[in-house]
């Protein structure tokens, strides 16, 4: 399971990634949110890189505890989906920051993958926000 710090970090990143991922739709529906989302967009690269790394770490942990699937399937699945959302949105938002460190071949392959993932940005943003709500609900049920 998550430590207290991991829980709150995950929740914070899910909310930030969700707001960034669904920003175009959110601003259309709530124009007053534009200023806040613009502030968040300024650090989207950092949010992306850290989220992607955090998601990879989470995926490793989820796979390490695959035996948990038998007893706590819903929790295990929630952790798996959360890690995959972190990786997907993290890659989308963090890609621009890491391209300076990539070879030309890696840049080309990464750009292909990013173009495919950008089509899922808004749905992943909604999933991220839904996961944040889900984690809050789980928090009240488990604790």
Per-residue pLDDT of 11-65, as tens digits, reads: 999 999 998 888 888 888 888 888 888 888 888 889 899 999 999 999 998 888 8
* Contact by Cβ (8 Å): 102, 110: yes
- Predicted pLDDT at 80: 93
How far does CA 140 lie from the centroid of its chain? 22
Domain boundaries, the chain: 4-142
pLDDT tier at 2, thresholds 50, 70, 90? low
Q: Considering the entire predicted model, what is its pTM?
A: 0.82
Q: How confident is the model over 52-75, as pLDDT tens digits?
A: 999 999 999 888 888 877 778 888
């Amino acid at each position: 399971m998550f430590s207290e710090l991991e829980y709150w970090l995950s929740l914070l990143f899910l909310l930030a990634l969700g707001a960034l991922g669904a920003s175009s739709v959110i601003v259309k529906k709530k124009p007053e949110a534009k200023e806040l989302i613009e502030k968040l967009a300024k650090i989207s690269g950092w949010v992306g890189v850290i989220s992607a790394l955090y998601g990879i770490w989470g995926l490793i942990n989820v796979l390490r505890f695959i035996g948990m699937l038998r007893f706590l399937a819903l929790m295990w699945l929630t952790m798996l989906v959360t890690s995959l959302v972190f990786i997907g949105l993290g890659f989308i938002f963090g890609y621009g920051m890491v391209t300076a460190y990539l070879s030309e071949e890696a840049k080309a392959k990464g750009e292909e993958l990013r173009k495919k993932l950008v089509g899922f940005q808004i749905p992943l943003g909604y999933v991220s926000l839904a996961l944040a709500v889900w984690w809050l609900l789980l928090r009240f049920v488990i604790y």
